Every structure is written in C-alpha cells, then in structure tokens.
Amino acid sequence: MQIIENAVAGKRYVSSSTRRVPVFNPATGEQSAELPLSTLDELNAAVENAKKAQIAWGNTTPMKRARVMFKFKALLDQYADDLAREISKEHGKVHDDALGEVARGIDCVDFACGIPHLLKGEFSRNVGPSIDSYSDRQPLGVVAGITPFNFPAMVPMWMYPAAIACGNAFILKPSERDPSAPMLAWNLFMEAGLPEGILNVVHGDKEMVDGILDHPDIKAVSFVGSTPIAEYVYQRGTKAGKRVQALGGAKNHMIIMPDADLDQAADALMGAGYGSAGERCMAISVAVPVGKDTADALVAKLKPRVESLKIGPATDKDAEMGPVVTKMHRDKIVGYIDSGVEQGAKLVVDGRGFKLQGYENGYYVGGTLFDNVEPEMKIYKEEIFGPVLSVVRRDSFQDAVDLIHGHEYANGTAIFTRDGDAAREFADKIEVGMVGINVPIPVPVAYHSFGGWKRSLFGDHSIYGPEGIHFYTRLKTVTTRWPAGIKGGAEFSFPSVK
Ligand code: NAD
C-alpha cells in the first residue's frame, strides 16, 4: 500500500505518526493509499527549517524568483496530464475537468511570474525639504495554506505561487482525501530549482490545522474549505495574531429572466450544476426562473438533459461527471435528497439509485433535479456539494434578488438575460462577491482576485491576483533626507508641510 509522504526541507519522508487514514479511489471504492496524520513535532521542524530558508529567499532578487516560477510553469505545462490523472484518481472528477483545474492553477503561476512588477512600490520626491519617500512591500516570513478536497492542485496554487514569489516560505496542509496531486506539484517545483525549505507539505487533520493556527512563527494563514471550519480558522488564527483569509462554502443562485435564451441557460445550468458532480464552490445549485412560463419551460428543458447525463469514471472519455469524493459524502447527498422529498419539494429527476456497471462500489450519485423548492427547506438552506440542482420559482426580478439576499452565503451568482437594464442593475446591486452576466461560473481570472461576501469569506483579503500579493506582503514606507548634514534645529511640533 502506498504511503503518502510529507515534503520538508527539500526532502520527502514518511511521517512517524501512528495515526493514519485511508485514501480511496472514488471511482471504484478501493483504497489507493494510506495517509499518516503528521505530528506537531514534524510541523515544528518544518517551520523551523522554513524560517531559516526564508531569509535567503526573501533577499533573492524578484527577477531570480521569477525565473524559478517560469521553470515551474513550463514543467506544469509538460506534466499537466499526469497531474490531472493524480487529481482524478483520488477526487474522481473526469479527466478534462481535472485538466481544466490544472490550467487554472497554472494561470496563478503565470501571474506570479510577473512578481518584479507586482512588488514595485511608489516613490515621491521632495515630500519635504530634501526629503523623499518610498513604499515597499516586504514578505511576511513563513506563511501557511490549508486546502479542501475539491481542487487539490488549483486551490493550493491560488496560494503558494504568489506567497513564494513574494519571498515567503510556505507550509501547505492539503486535504486528507486527495493528497497526491500537491505532492507531484511539489516535485515539479523542486525540479524547477526552488531552494529547499521554501515549499513544504505537511499532511494532517484538525490537530495539524490547530498546530498551524497556534504556531508563533507562522505569520499568515490562507484557508479554503467549508464555512464552519473557515469561521473557526479565522477566529483562532486572528486570536493568535495572524493575518487570516478564510474562504468558505456557497449556495450560488442563477436567475433566468423571461427574455433569456432558455437553451443557452439550460446548457449553462448543466455545466455549472453537474460539472465535477457539483463539488465546486462556484457550482450553481439554485436556479431561479422568473415567471411561471419561464420556470415551466426551463424545467422541461432541464429534465431530459439531467436524465441523459453521462456518468462514469475519469478513465471514460465520454463521461461528463464522475463519482463524488467519499462514501460518506455520497450518503450525505442522498440524505439531502431524502429530506427534499420529505419537505415537499418536487423531485423531477432522482439520482439516488444510480449504479454503474463494473463500478458498483464507486461513490456515484445520479444527476438530481428538484422543482418547487422553498427557502425554508434544508436542501435550499444548506450547501449540498453534490449533483443536485434546486429550482426556486420567483415572480419578478426583485423577488429573485431578495431571495439571493436572504441567503447566508454570497460566493458567486449569475443572471441570464438579454435585458441590459436588468443585467446592469443586478451587477450593481447584488450583494455577492462574484457575479456572472450570461456567464454561469464567474471565477475571476488569475490577474483579478477571487472571493465571496458574507459567510463565504472571513477576512479582509480575497485570494490570488493583486489581493494575494497584498495578503502575503506588508507595506513599509521609508522617508529619507539627503544630504544628511542639513541642520534645522530641534523641531517640537508635529512634522507638517510648511
Ligand atoms: P473542509 O472544511 O471539510 O476541509 C477543508 C480543510 O479543513 C481540510 O484541509 C481539512 O483537513 C481541514 N479540516 C476539516 N475539519 C476540520 C476541523 N474540524 N478543524 C480544523 N480543520 C479541519 O472542506 P472540504 O470538504 O474539504 O471542501 C469542501 C468545502 O470547501 C465546501 O464547503 C466548498 O464550498 C468549500 N470551498 C470553498 C471555496 C471558496 O473559494 N470559497 C473553494 C473550494 C471549496
């Protein structure tokens, strides 16, 4: 049985921990590896080493750091297919989807290649007599990232390329469910010439997360995962004096206006609702058609599409959607579908009984569609994170907007319409962090930043892009007087421009 290793100080090793958890292949239900849950001593050793390594790395010129990034990017391009296979093996998503994930991760490395420009400060000459002032963004030291299962390669790359390009050392704690993809990426980064100790991977569970949050030498923590854990991480991390950005869960709504092209909207809902088996924080899980006719027509278009979804393992080139990540998660999703039925939603397509021949032990759930879902139902209130789309009917644009505003999550949202007035008002007024106009999954590109509002993000910084650079650096402003010999006598009043 393969044992998943840690990677610290440039070397891979097997943790001495006696606490171990299995890693499964969701397509078959077979165990593929064993993951030791590392000890706090191992974390401490990693941080100690990273702290030393960071001093030289933080003083390396940004151009040299960028060169390592360029090589890393070239290797990621070269090994994208292998990385995608590692993702699929433990996550279950289909190969093309995994390749898409890798591509979006590479975009973040691409962005980090521009670090010399991104770190440029500002300069003002003559802010006082012979006095100049400049600002500079400096690395924090050792920083950490704690990541979820659903994007095992991309979400870590939302974090460490920017952090490392800024001159920090990084401790990554990946999800226990699919730890292999981040290990392959680590190999490639080392091959690209990253100095030892700058990227470290330490596997673990809550005990490791708490160790990271409490460690006095870890200066900032990026977290992506579910909302209860995000809130916990934010509170514990900030209490320990750290800078924390903690991205949480979602319930993303898509409004379909009566003037929308309904075939286009239905296709968009299929990709956004069922792609990656709905295990995306930007998945659309609620469709909000405006008006009875729109709703009836939309449901009629969705039903055959959901019924004919091609479900299979990642190795099946025709599959549009794979299994969900674990047996426990599959059972939880089935429990949500049960509750929707019990609470009176209309089950249009039922994915509960889905079985795939030859893969009877895999964690599959068929595409599921509910109509007439109401806001007080559990399937509306909670994030299901599975291939389950709920249709909530509303009578007007304003009712649809009010519905969205009533939800605790505010990660992403979309509107499908040909009415420019409605589109502009939606973009302008909706209280959600990422908005799509005729775009169902509006994930910002790598040179913008990603982040929800309300209980989808705890902290002041969105992730990656310009906000990522700000998160992983701190501002210093230097005021200088030259020639040094200028004498004006003691000045007791507060310095001001005269
Ligand atoms: P999760 O919250 O269970 O786990 C995330 C990380 O937290 C993992 O590394 C895990 O080891 C750790 N963790 C789990 N339980 C913990 C505990 N009790 N104390 C401390 N740490 C703990 O999330 P998941 O199931 O891996 O991922 C799915 C969730 O992530 C969904 O809610 C999804 O919406 C969210 N997500 C959000 C975004 C975003 O950008 N907002 C992106 C991807 C995923």
Q: Which atom of ligand 1 is nearest to the CA of 457?
A: 41
Q: Which secondary structure element, helix H or strand E, spans residue 88, and what is its range? A: helix 80-91
Q: Where are the domains of the chain?
A: 2-248+456-478, 252-437
Taken in order 115, 180, 209, 169, the sign of the CA dihedral is: negative
Q: Cβ(224) to ligand 1 under 6 A?
A: yes
Query: How far apart, in whole angstroms, are the C-alpha atoms of residue 202 and residue 118?
Result: 29
| 2-248+456-478: CATH topology | Aldehyde Dehydrogenase; Chain A, domain 1 (3.40.605)
From ligand 1's centre to the CA of 148, what distance in Å? Answer: 4
From ligand 1's centre to the CA of 226, what distance in Å? Answer: 4
Q: What is the pLDDT of residue 498?
A: 65
The predicted-structure confidence for 195-248, as pLDDT tens digits, reads as follows 999 999 999 999 999 999 999 999 999 999 999 999 999 999 999 999 999 999
Query: Is the separation of the CB atoms in 265 and 271 below 8 Å?
Result: no
Q: Cβ(144) to ligand 1 under 6 A?
A: no
From ligand 1's centre to the CA of 451, what distance in Å? Answer: 15
Q: What three-state secondary structure class fits 99?
A: helix
Tokens of 254: 């898509």
| 252-437: CATH topology | Aldehyde Dehydrogenase; Chain A, domain 2 (3.40.309)
Q: To the nearest 10°, the Cα dihedral for 485, 486, 487, 493?
A: -130
Nearest CA to ligand 1 atom 35: 225
Query: How far apart, in whole angstroms, are the C-alpha atoms of residue 430 and residue 397?
Result: 12
Domain 2-248+456-478 matches domain 252-437 at the CATH topology level: no
Q: Which secondary structure element, helix H or strand E, spans residue 409, and what is its range? A: strand 409-410
Query: Which residue among 276, 281, 388 has the greatest number of ligand 1 atoms within 8 angstroms of its CB, and so is best to mutate?
Result: 281
User: For residue 418, what are the contacts with CB-CB under 8 A and spacing of at least 6?
Assistant: 257, 259, 260, 261
Q: What three-state secondary structure class fits 399?
A: helix
Tokens of 385: 């994170």
From ligand 1's centre to the CA of 219, what distance in Å? Answer: 21
Q: Cβ(452) to ligand 1 under 6 A?
A: yes
From ligand 1's centre to the CA of 8, what distance in Å? Answer: 23
Query: How far apart, in whole angstroms, are the C-alpha atoms of residue 35 and residue 205?
Result: 10
Residues in the chain: 498
Q: Cβ(175) to ligand 1 under 6 A?
A: yes
Query: How far apart, in whole angstroms, are the C-alpha atoms of residue 349 and residue 245?
Result: 38
From ligand 1's centre to the CA of 336, what distance in Å? Answer: 19
Query: How far apart, in whole angstroms, are the C-alpha atoms of residue 32 and residue 37?
Result: 16
Q: Which atom of ligand 1 is nearest to the CA of 151?
A: 43
Give the pLDDT of the chain (498 residues) as one tens digit per residue: 899 999 999 999 999 999 999 999 999 999 999 999 999 999 999 999 999 999 999 999 999 999 999 999 999 999 999 999 999 999 999 999 999 999 999 999 999 999 999 999 999 999 999 999 999 999 999 999 999 999 999 999 999 999 999 999 999 999 999 999 999 999 999 999 999 999 999 999 999 999 999 999 999 999 999 999 999 999 999 999 999 999 999 999 999 999 999 999 999 999 999 999 999 999 999 999 999 999 999 999 999 999 999 999 999 999 999 999 999 999 999 999 999 999 999 999 999 999 999 999 999 999 999 999 999 999 999 999 999 999 999 999 999 999 999 999 999 999 999 999 999 999 999 999 999 999 999 999 999 999 999 999 999 999 999 999 999 999 999 999 998 877 778 888 888 876
Nearest CA to ligand 1 atom 40: 247
Q: Tell me the whole-structure pTM to 2 decimals.
A: 0.97
Q: Which atom of ligand 1 is nearest to the CA of 456?
A: 41
Q: What three-state secondary structure class fits 450?
A: strand
Q: Which runs of consecutive H residues, i.e. helices, occur in 240-291?
A: 262-274
Q: Cβ(208) to ligand 1 under 6 A?
A: no
Query: Is the separation of the CB atoms in 464 and 162 below 8 Å?
Result: yes
CB atoms within 10 A of CB 117: 9
Q: Which atom of ligand 1 is nearest to the CA of 149?
A: 26
Q: Cβ(385) to ligand 1 under 6 A?
A: yes
Query: How far apart, in whole angstroms, are the C-alpha atoms of residue 367 and residue 387?
Result: 5
Q: Which atom of ligand 1 is nearest to the CA of 175?
A: 9
Query: How far apart, in whole angstroms, are the C-alpha atoms of residue 89 and residue 313?
Result: 9
Query: How far apart, in whole angstroms, are the C-alpha atoms of residue 74 and residue 79?
Result: 9
Q: Cβ(228) to ligand 1 under 6 A?
A: no
The answer to whether residue 281 is catalytic is: yes
Query: Is the separation of the CB atoms in 452 and 407 below 8 Å?
Result: no
